[in-house]
Amino acid sequence: MSDTPTLLRIPAHRTPYRADPRNAEEFYASLGQFTVAWGRFEGHMIGALLMILNLPEANGKKLKLVEPWSQRQKLWEYTFNTFTSLEPYKGRALAFMKRIMTEVEDRHFAAHAIWDDFVLTASEPTIRVRRI
């Protein structure tokens, strides 16, 4: 642990803020739509995983619903690689999960970023973010 204090600036103000560009609401609306769409998507994926865990082939195996996407990927791949009832869907399902995992990092970044000020010189709504 360091004895030197670290300063972190987190501005707290209304959204949209008076210093935001005119089209800032477009950015906020898009970010909100992204957040809601991802939440719906996660709900569908959890539902799919729960259905897989209720297949007869899951009986007796110590499989459970997991939270981190890396663990969901392992569960998904394991079941599609080993459950004969899922064999007809294996290729598409594994490709689908691979695509999901390319999007997960963007979701994590958007969900956990520390949002800063808009770049007022940008041609479209652009905002600075920090990742810790």
Query: Could you read off the pLDDT of 22-80 as tens digits, one per residue?
Result: 888 888 898 899 999 999 999 999 999 999 999 999 999 999 999 999 999 999 999 99
CA dist list (Å): 24 to 16, 30, 63, 127, 129 = 7, 10, 45, 9, 15
Tell me what the mean pLDDT of segment 7-25 comes to: 79
Structure pTM? 0.78
Mean pLDDT, all residues of the chain: 90
Return the domain boundaries, the chain. Answer: 32-127
User: Which residues pair with residue 130 across a beta bridge?
Assistant: 114
Question: How is residue 55 written in tokens?
Answer: 């297949």
